[in-house]
Amino acid sequence: MLTYLLAFILFAVGLYSVINKRNLIKIIMGIIIMEHAVNAFLILIGYRISGKAPILEKGTSVTEFVNSAMDPLPQALVITSIVISLGVVALMVALAVRLYQHYGTFDITEIRKLRG
């Protein structure tokens, strides 16, 4: 139980950074941390006590494998989500670099040109 809660504290740290920081890089980091936390949570959901990695080895019987392997589906989802977050981070960094070129700062309060 505590383990799930720890993943949520990590999520909250990321959310705090996104909401409360004025530095673009810190906001990007907040999003990265949130994504890490969700990935960790997904893996924790798929965890089975004293389970093994979901990779068959020669000689193991399938029934034994089904009873002892971790849940493979959340792992597949996490790989997908890691790659998606990598793409999003690349785009965010590109935008942040461009904004720095225009304004000479990463401070979000000095970038606000647009209204509401």
Partner 1 sequence: MSGMSPIVKTVTRWVSPFILAFGIYIALTGHLTPGGGFPGGVIIAGCFVLLTLAYGKEKVDGVFSLKSASVTDSLASLSFLCMGLLGYVFGRGFLNNFIQSGFPGKAFELLSGGNMPIINVAIGFKVGGSLFVVFAYLALFRAIEEE
Partner 2 sequence: MLPLFVAIPLGVGFLLPLIEEFRERTRLFAVTVLLETGLLLALSLVKFGEKSIYRLGGWPPPIGINYVLDGLSSLVLVVISGIAFVTVLFAMTYMSKYENLGKFYGLFSLMLAGMYGVALTGDVFNMYVYLEVAAISSYALVGFNRGAEELEASFKYLIMGAVGSVFILLGIAFLYGSVGSLNIADISVRVSEVSDQSFILLSTALFIVGFGLKAAFIPFHSWLPDAHSSAPTPISAMLSGVLIKVLGVYALSRILFNGLNLPSLTPQLLTWIGAGSMFIGGMIALGQNDLKRLLAYSSISQMGYITLGLGMGGIFISQGKPAIATLALIGGLFHLVNHATYKSLLFLFSGGVERIFGTRDLSKIGGITRVSPVSGATGTIGTLSISGVPPFNGFWSKLVIVIAAIWGGLYPIAGIVLFTSAITLAYYLKVQRELFLGEVVGEIADKGKISPGIYVPLLILAICCIGLGLLYLPEIRGIVLKPAALALQEGSEYTQLVLGL
Partner 3 sequence: MVLIQIFLVFTIIAALIAVEAPSALSSIISLGAVGFGLSIAFLWLGAPDIAITQVVVEILTLVILIRATIGKGVTEIRGNESKTLLIGSLILFGLGSAFFANYLSAFPEFGKSAIDVFSETPSQFYLKFGLEKAGGANVVNDILLDFRAYDTLGEATVLFTAILGAITLLNKDVFFGEGGEK
Paired strand residues for 107: 23
Whole-number Cα distances in Å, 110 to 18, 26, 95, 100: 17, 15, 16, 11
State the nearest-atom distance from the C-beta of 51 to partner 2, in Å.
16
Which residue among 31, 69, 103, 111 contacts partner 3 (CB under 8 A)? 69
Question: Closer CB to partner 1, residue 6 or residue 52?
Answer: 52
d(CA 81, CA 27): 19
Binding mask 80-99 for partner 1 (x = CB under 8 A): --xx--x---x--xx--x--
Residue 104 CB burial class (10 angstroms; 0-12, 13-18, ≥19): exposed
Q: Which residues bind partner 2 (CB under 8 A)?
A: 11, 15, 18, 24, 27, 31, 34-35, 38, 41-42, 45, 73-74, 77, 80-81, 84, 87-88, 91-92, 95-96, 98-99, 102-103, 111-116
